[in-house]
Chains A and B, each alone.
Chain A
């Protein structure tokens, strides 16, 4: 029977709604409204995990998203499992299962716990120093490290949930719904600003909602009572949207914020189905009001990490908000008055408070007096020097603190306890503020980093802005709201606040023990097991930059990003190195503030929506005819059309033969098409292509090569002159968008005087490329009245025609070396055109072929494919395409670069043909080429760029780039492969029909 530590009914806990859940396989009960942490604490379970390095038992430390220890695996072994979730943020539901991470075989008996006893051998940088030597041993070390370390397990099956993204534009975004956020949102909305208020928790009110220190009053009510009334009023305000369970993950420049809205994580499995689990909100706000509050600091003392040691404010929240006592014998350890509020909160509910240990000499506040009156023992000027209890705290020992706070004196007093609340002051949650690019400044008096220089329209209000007392909060919030919203009056003008007197504080970053530092374990980063000793060691070893110390000691590098301990790390570095904290600065707080699921990040872009793809108008035909597809750019292109169980090789051989022997047809719709018009269109083409365009007659086509300004080949394609001032340019499939972008760039920025207009018409046309010796007869059948004679319609010319009533553009151009036509029709007629060609071609055994056969056929002709035979380092001269580079033109893009000393080198890699001595061996594309085999290191001459078995030549052919290849015609080279060296001979890259006789066949 587990203990029940419920102390009173709480309005946030529904005791009529009992919920059962499992933790580490054992069933427990909690109530609707509980978090996993509060429900476990109510069952007296503190031990929830093991630390990362030493595998020390660890308990729940906080009540919020800053939790470093209580991170669990939710719903283990299901497809909804999620690692590294903070127990303090999980709302329990019927059927919830969770388990500890980082322990094996169980959290109660963890074999890695031996690391704790070996810890003198695990100092900072241990992994860097030890496992790196000898280098060959790393694989062995890695096996053990990977098995004993690791935080949680990722799911192994597909995530069943739906995730979503939403864009939000608002006038005012308020982050955090504590007292400051609520008042800010209320006043913004009332003044007609479209306002969004978000909070990571499921209830509004922040810390103030359970603030009932009787000496603090707002309008004569306790802050808690008063705030409840304010929250009630929010419901009736227009212009205000409130989102709870919504955590801002990132705050980017220009007030662009990403937030994760949690919609179903708190629901039972049956209610999660078919609902959006989490939604990523992409918020662009005109003004941002950060009201992110403050995180209570622990104190750094020897063995400060045992289960049962918690933040004082968390103990108070568990008691007031969840109605749970975290211990039955409570002790507090503090440097300010807030622990006294927590002590009174417990005392008022009849929970035993043994003592308060205060490092200050005294405090005169009313709440301290109240504690004294209650008879709770206070040890002034004392510090905890050690704690005991392996899996649960059972005592603390204290000693008198010296005046300068650097040592302890006197005799040791031991106090028996099962729960210790530590209160080290408050750290403003400035994480989002700094993410926005804004700069912090250190406040020496308050010992906090505060917002200083804002880079966007934003304010930080409440405790994240450095105001910790309610009177200061209200006063400064009021002024900031008036300034930022440009309004004259607010609801806050008439609020009357009474508060307890000055809250004094004594700040000591690292508390002394009666043992030397080397013998103690004062943890600074709980999740990564970094101690004060590690930080000092890093400094001794010469690290100075805070970013370096962080990486060397791993302080602040856990999933919690060191929300609790970072300030202490800075303080210890500053004290040790003798520098001011303001000069030291902080480490960078990076998004996300709390971890995000991958699902939230990708949203709906999963499965078939992972990437956009484009399909041609003939696509259905290809699918019906069992084509295999390949991705080219974003297009799905027919790759080959296997019949009767053919392999790809067999299909391609058949298609390639058919295209040369009778007729083939290719879907060329994906080629980029740019419509170019304007009185300077010819001049424009002269400037962007390497060859001359002014004399191209209307109705003629010309192949063009486009370079970058550095002289390297960028794209190629055929351009047709449709009219005096009208051209249609084709580009490679993958290059279409970039070519258009580049042309626009020159037109708008370098040559704005040219009268030229560019329009992308790629999607407007469907293109069927009909090729082979029978292509003419097929076209004649489709368009009987079109004169197809070589005189009327020669190679490299164009005609407009009609197929039935459908207008079409026909270019007699060829990428295969065969007599061929490219027929373009309005995209919506594409499939119809294709079917007509197939029908007319049936008697000629017309064979549809895909991109693979296209590649093979053009390789037989030695035609390059930009991006396959070129890689951004090839000039037209390197490609042996000198013929296309105009010597007469004064200028074109890239011309000057062709005369740079480097591009004119004779020993550049040049495009050549390669023939294998054994005609049946097909080279691998990408294979390296050498001239000497027994050389070390071997000199690489180049590589194979295209390689096929040519069915028309009945031998293997390849294109390659080879250093100085131009002058190597007939030279014997080698392609060394894993098990053999292949003998090759450099050849003319035009393997087939060198005289181009087939174009007119």
Chain B
């Protein structure tokens, strides 16, 4: 059970949060311009890395804010947490 440092509320138990998958996948601004393959790339393809991964999390049972997390999926170490719209920390 992680202890997650919500950037708006502080440290809270994992059960208050919802994981939202890979981060920094921007919704295409002009979807109609995309080929089926390009759209499928956005829609379906996720990296699912073993190692350092950028993820979206939501403080669903708290402030309801979304934020980003850098997590090592091999040992669940949370390396960084930053707000939506902020640049990911340099690796």
Contacts from A to B (Cβ < 8 Å): 252-256, 284, 437, 455, 709-710, 741, 744-745, 748-750, 752, 890-891, 895-897, 899-901
Are the C-beta atoms of B85 and A741 separated by less than 8 Å?
no
Interface set, chain B 69-84, CB cutoff 8 A to A: 75-77, 84
Are the C-beta atoms of A253 and B43 separated by less than 8 Å?
no
Interface set, chain B 20-63, CB cutoff 8 A to A: 20, 26-28, 30-32, 34, 36, 39-40, 43, 56, 58, 60
A891-B31 CB under 8 A given contacts A256-B1, A256-B3 = yes
How far apart sit A891 and B30, CA to CA, in the bound complex (Å)?
Answer: 8
Are the C-beta atoms of A895 and B2 separated by less than 8 Å?
no
- Can you name 8 extra interface pairs (CB under 8 A) apart from A741-B60, A749-B66, A895-B32? A252-B1, A256-B1, A709-B43, A741-B18, A745-B66, A891-B32, A896-B34, A896-B39
Are the C-beta atoms of A455 and B75 separated by less than 8 Å?
yes
Closest CB of chain A to B83's CB: distance in Å? 10
Are the C-beta atoms of A897 and B2 separated by less than 8 Å?
no
6 closest pairs, A vs B, by CB?
Answer: A896-B31, A254-B3, A256-B1, A748-B66, A750-B27, A252-B1
Are the C-beta atoms of A284 and B20 separated by less than 8 Å?
no
Are the C-beta atoms of A254 and B1 separated by less than 8 Å?
yes
Task: Provide the residues of chain B in CB contact with A256, threshold 8 Å.
Answer: 1, 3, 13
A437-B76 CB under 8 A given contacts A252-B1, A254-B1, A896-B32 = yes
Are the C-beta atoms of B84 and A752 separated by less than 8 Å?
yes
A284-B56 CB under 8 A given contacts A890-B32, A891-B31, A901-B36 = no
Closest CB of chain B to A147's CB: distance in Å? 41
How far apart sit A752 and B26, CA to CA, in the bound complex (Å)?
Answer: 12
Closest CB of chain A to B66's CB: distance in Å? 5
Q: How many A-B residue pairs have CB under 8 A?
A: 57
How far apart sit A254 and B17, CA to CA, in the bound complex (Å)?
Answer: 15
12 pairs, A vs B, C-beta closer than 8 Å: A253-B76, A744-B58, A744-B64, A744-B66, A749-B56, A750-B26, A750-B27, A895-B32, A896-B28, A896-B32, A896-B34, A900-B36
Task: Provide the residues of chain A in CB contact with B20, threshold 8 Å.
Answer: 745
Task: Provide the residues of chain A in CB contact with B32, threshold 8 Å.
Answer: 890-891, 895-896, 899
Task: Provide the residues of chain A in CB contact with B76, threshold 8 Å.
Answer: 253, 437
Q: Find the B residue at minimum CB distance from A758.
A: B64
Are the C-beta atoms of B34 and A749 separated by less than 8 Å?
no
Closest CB of chain B to A504's CB: distance in Å? 38
Closest CB of chain A to B5's CB: distance in Å? 11
Q: B interface, how many residues as a size bin?
A: 20 to 34
How far apart sit A284 and B4, CA to CA, in the bound complex (Å)?
Answer: 12
Are the C-beta atoms of B43 and A897 separated by less than 8 Å?
yes
Q: Find the A residue at minimum CB distance from B3.
A: A254
A455-B77 CB under 8 A given contacts A752-B84, A900-B39 = yes
Task: Provide the residues of chain A in CB contact with B3, threshold 8 Å.
Answer: 254-256, 284
Q: Find the B residue at minimum CB distance from A893.
A: B27
How far apart sit A750 and B27, CA to CA, in the bound complex (Å)?
Answer: 7
Which of A437, A741, A900 meets B40, CB within 8 Å? A900
Closest CB of chain B to A167's CB: distance in Å? 9
How far apart sit A750 and B64, CA to CA, in the bound complex (Å)?
Answer: 15
How far apart sit A489 and B65, CA to CA, in the bound complex (Å)?
Answer: 45
How far apart sit A900 and B41, CA to CA, in the bound complex (Å)?
Answer: 12
Task: Provide the residues of chain B in CB contact with A752, threshold 8 Å.
Answer: 84-85
Are the C-beta atoms of A749 and B84 separated by less than 8 Å?
yes
How far apart sit A709 and B32, CA to CA, in the bound complex (Å)?
Answer: 13
How far apart sit A123 and B67, CA to CA, in the bound complex (Å)?
Answer: 55
How far apart sit A252 and B76, CA to CA, in the bound complex (Å)?
Answer: 11
Which of A254, A710, A748, A895 meets B31, CB within 8 Å? A895
Task: Provide the residues of chain A in CB contact with B36, threshold 8 Å.
Answer: 900-901
How far apart sit A22 and B87, CA to CA, in the bound complex (Å)?
Answer: 69
Closest CB of chain B to A609's CB: distance in Å? 18
Task: Provide the residues of chain B in CB contact with A899, threshold 8 Å.
Answer: 32
Closest CB of chain A to B38's CB: distance in Å? 10
Closest CB of chain B to A742's CB: distance in Å? 11
Closest CB of chain A to B62's CB: distance in Å? 13
Closest CB of chain B to A358's CB: distance in Å? 43
Q: Find the A residue at minimum CB distance from B38.
A: A896
Task: Provide the residues of chain A in CB contact with B60, threshold 8 Å.
Answer: 741
Closest CB of chain A to B24's CB: distance in Å? 10
How far apart sit A494 and B20, CA to CA, in the bound complex (Å)?
Answer: 54
Closest CB of chain A to B85's CB: distance in Å? 6
Task: Provide the residues of chain B in CB contact with A900, threshold 8 Å.
Answer: 36, 39-40
Closest CB of chain A to B28's CB: distance in Å? 8
How far apart sit A900 and B34, CA to CA, in the bound complex (Å)?
Answer: 10
Q: Find the A residue at minimum CB distance from B40.
A: A900
How far apart sit A975 and B61, CA to CA, in the bound complex (Å)?
Answer: 46
Which of A437, A890, A897 meets B75, CB within 8 Å? A437
How far apart sit A22 and B32, CA to CA, in the bound complex (Å)?
Answer: 79
How far apart sit A455 and B36, CA to CA, in the bound complex (Å)?
Answer: 44
Task: Provide the residues of chain B in CB contact with A709, threshold 8 Å.
Answer: 27, 43
Are the C-beta atoms of B84 and A897 separated by less than 8 Å?
no
Are the C-beta atoms of A710 and B43 separated by less than 8 Å?
yes
Task: Provide the residues of chain B in CB contact with A897, threshold 8 Å.
Answer: 39, 43
How far apart sit A750 and B31, CA to CA, in the bound complex (Å)?
Answer: 14
Closest CB of chain B to A957's CB: distance in Å? 36
Q: Find the B residue at minimum CB distance from A892.
A: B31
A253-B1 CB under 8 A given contacts A745-B20, A749-B84, A890-B32 = yes
Q: Find the B residue at minimum CB distance from A708.
A: B43
Task: Provide the residues of chain B in CB contact with A710, threshold 8 Å.
Answer: 43
Task: Provide the residues of chain A in CB contact with B66, threshold 8 Å.
Answer: 744-745, 748-749
Closest CB of chain A to B6's CB: distance in Å? 13
Task: Provide the residues of chain B in CB contact with A895, threshold 8 Å.
Answer: 31-32
Task: Provide the residues of chain A in CB contact with B77, threshold 8 Å.
Answer: 455
Are the C-beta atoms of B84 and A748 separated by less than 8 Å?
yes
How far apart sit A437 and B74, CA to CA, in the bound complex (Å)?
Answer: 10
Most buried by B among A256, A437, A748: A748
How far apart sit A253 and B73, CA to CA, in the bound complex (Å)?
Answer: 13
Are the C-beta atoms of B58 and A284 separated by less than 8 Å?
no
Task: Provide the residues of chain A in CB contact with B58, threshold 8 Å.
Answer: 741, 744-745
Closest CB of chain A to B47's CB: distance in Å? 18
How far apart sit A252 and B60, CA to CA, in the bound complex (Å)?
Answer: 22
Q: Find the A residue at minimum CB distance from B13.
A: A284
How far apart sit A187 and B48, CA to CA, in the bound complex (Å)?
Answer: 45
Task: Provide the residues of chain B in CB contact with A284, threshold 8 Å.
Answer: 3, 13
Closest CB of chain B to A41's CB: distance in Å? 41
How far apart sit A252 and B28, CA to CA, in the bound complex (Å)?
Answer: 39
Task: Provide the residues of chain A in CB contact with B18, threshold 8 Å.
Answer: 741
Task: Provide the residues of chain A in CB contact with B31, threshold 8 Å.
Answer: 891, 895-896
Task: Provide the residues of chain A in CB contact with B28, threshold 8 Å.
Answer: 896
How far apart sit A521 and B77, CA to CA, in the bound complex (Å)?
Answer: 46
Task: Provide the residues of chain B in CB contact with A745, threshold 8 Å.
Answer: 20, 58, 66
Task: Provide the residues of chain B in CB contact with A254, threshold 8 Å.
Answer: 1-3
Which of A253, A750, A896 meets B2, CB within 8 Å? A253
Closest CB of chain B to A565's CB: distance in Å? 29
How far apart sit A254 and B27, CA to CA, in the bound complex (Å)?
Answer: 33
How far apart sit A748 and B28, CA to CA, in the bound complex (Å)?
Answer: 16
Q: Find the A residue at minimum CB distance from B74.
A: A437
How far apart sit A126 and B24, CA to CA, in the bound complex (Å)?
Answer: 52
Task: Provide the residues of chain A in CB contact with B65, threshold 8 Å.
Answer: 748
Q: Find the B residue at minimum CB distance from A284.
A: B3
Q: Find the A residue at minimum CB distance from B20.
A: A745
Q: Find the A residue at minimum CB distance from B67.
A: A748
Task: Provide the residues of chain B in CB contact with A252, threshold 8 Å.
Answer: 1
Closest CB of chain A to B12's CB: distance in Å? 10
Closest CB of chain A to B71's CB: distance in Å? 11
Closest CB of chain A to B52's CB: distance in Å? 15
How far apart sit A255 and B11, CA to CA, in the bound complex (Å)?
Answer: 13
Closest CB of chain A to B32's CB: distance in Å? 6
How far apart sit A254 and B60, CA to CA, in the bound complex (Å)?
Answer: 20
How far apart sit A274 and B30, CA to CA, in the bound complex (Å)?
Answer: 65
Closest CB of chain B to A889's CB: distance in Å? 10
How far apart sit A897 and B43, CA to CA, in the bound complex (Å)?
Answer: 9
How far apart sit A515 and B63, CA to CA, in the bound complex (Å)?
Answer: 71
Q: Find the A residue at minimum CB distance from B68.
A: A749
How far apart sit A369 and B32, CA to CA, in the bound complex (Å)?
Answer: 90
